[in-house]
Structure 1
Amino acid sequence: MKVPVELRSESGELIVIWPDGARQRLVLADLRAACPCGYCRGARLRGMEPAESRPNPLELTGIAPMGYGVQLVFSDGHDRGIYPWSWLANFAPDADVTALPGTATSSAAPSWTPR
């Protein structure tokens, strides 16, 4: 399993740095729209928008690694989705997000680097 060496929130994006040095910039609004939690997936399957009143701009208030992925805490208060590492590595904002695979807060932009 490929696990990032660093995660950080920067200007409305999640920056992911992989062990091979590859740097990925993921737009937070796209990640929030593709949230893999049961509630959001169910809403998308029913053709509904899970979060009607997202703050603009959307920010991260927490990043919490969970072994096989990462829990992202968004400024709209949503914190139920755990994004698997393999899913993040292959994330494409325009992909079908109805069939997805399988909290700390701070006033500073959240980041995570393994020790």
Structure 2
Amino acid sequence: MTQPRPLELGLEGNDLIITWSDGRRSRYAPQRLRAVCPCAGCNEARRHAVPPVPLDSPLPDIPQTVAFRTVEPVGNYAYKIGFSDGHDTGIYTLDKLYQWGEPA
């Protein structure tokens, strides 16, 4: 089966909404996506946490006030997402976004 493609992105309140080509609408809270950032810096923070945090686990201590600032496409496979805390190095693949989305 082909991975669904994003057709539309928008904000509802503080949440990112993606409408996918299979008709699914997914909701993403900024705190959740910031906490699961897959960038090298966040993975390093997970490794050095006491106790260490598994690489596929959310980072603790993400402020509840964090918000989306930018969402930019990276080729046709991902989005680079910037947050209000200044963090903007995470590349979120479409397959991960599709998996992580809550029903909107």
TM over 0.5: yes
* TM-score interval, smaller chain: 0.7 to 0.9
Q: How many residues get paired?
A: 92
Question: What is the CA RMSD across the aligned residues, in angstroms?
Answer: 2.4
Contact 2:14–2:30 under 8 Å retained in 1 = yes
CA offsets 1:77-115 (integer angstroms, 9 cap, x no match): 11000100001111179xxxxxxxxxxxxxxxxxxxxxx
Runs of 4+ residues over 2 Å off in structure 1: 45-54
More helix by share: 2
Which residue number in structure 2 is paired with residue 64 of structure 1?
A: 72
Which residue number in structure 2 is paired with residue 90 of structure 1?
A: 99
Q: Structure 1 length as normaliser, TM-score?
A: 0.68
Contact 1:13–1:27 under 8 Å retained in 2 = yes
Aligned partner of 1:32 among 31, 34, 52: 34
CA distance in structure 1 between the partners assigned to 2:15 and 2:43 by the alignment? 22
Contact 1:12–1:57 under 8 Å retained in 2 = no
Q: Map 1:1-115; keep pairs closer than 5 Å.
A: 1-47=3-49, 54=63, 56-67=64-75, 68-91=77-100
AA aligned to 1:60 is F
Q: Structure 2 length as normaliser, TM-score?
A: 0.75
Structure 2 residue runs of 5 or longer lacking an equivalent are 51-57
Residues 1:7 and 1:27: Cα distance change in structure 2 (over 3 Å):
same
Identical positions, percent:
36
More strand by share: 2
More deviation, 13-22/39-48: 39-48
Residues 1:59 and 1:41: Cα distance change in structure 2 (over 3 Å):
same
Contact 1:9–1:15 under 8 Å retained in 2 = yes
**SS where residue 79 of structure 1 aligns?**
coil
Residues 1:11 and 1:57: Cα distance change in structure 2 (over 3 Å):
farther
